[in-house]
């Protein structure tokens, strides 16, 4: 005796196929959203890095354009802070025998991203950059 009632098989098969398609779609969307968010975070970090770089370049240009600024406006062993759009730059002046050395820390901001750069500059003629490095982790405010 065989039972020939196959009415529910198509419904079960259709539900299984729909569940597989649903999970596949959700997975693909999740990957796409994560890629989108990651790419925007990378763009923000790159812009923050360029802002930090611009902060150091701005101080170097000020040194080259106004050499008296170092002796008149910067005090020995004290931090001088300069705020520009998207960047905060801290300059510390130290004396090493006859040379003046500036330690420049620049923190660039863009949206939620922060990047820090640090440079040591020996003030002479011409100005010599002794050290230029990206700092990890990012400095606190």
Q: What is the pTM of this model?
A: 0.68
Which tens digits make up the pLDDT trace of 67-84?
Answer: 777 777 776 667 788 888
Confirm if 90 and 83 have CB atoms less than 8 A apart. Answer: no
CB-CB neighbours of 92 under 10 Å: 17
**What pLDDT sits at residue 140?**
46
Q: With contact defined as beta carbons under 8 Å apart, do 51 and 87 qualify? A: yes
77-111, pLDDT tens digit by residue? 677 888 888 898 988 887 777 778 888 889 999 88
């Amino acid at each position: 005796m065989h039972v020939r009632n196959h009415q529910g098989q198509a419904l079960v098969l259709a539900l299984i196929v729909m569940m597989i398609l649903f999970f596949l779609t959700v997975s693909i969307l999740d990957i796409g959203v994560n890629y989108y968010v990651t790419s925007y975070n990378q763009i923000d970090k790159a812009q923050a890095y360029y802002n930090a770089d611009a902060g150091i370049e701005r101080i170097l240009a000020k040194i080259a354009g106004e050499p008296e600024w170092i002796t008149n406006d910067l005090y020995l062993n004290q931090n001088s802070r300069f705020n520009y759009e998207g960047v905060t730059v801290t300059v510390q002046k130290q004396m090493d025998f006859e040379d003046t050395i500036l330690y420049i820390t620049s923190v660039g901001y863009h949206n939620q991203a922060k990047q820090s750069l640090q440079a040591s500059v020996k003030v002479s003629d011409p100005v010599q950059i002794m050290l230029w490095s990206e700092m990890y982790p990012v400095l606190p405010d």
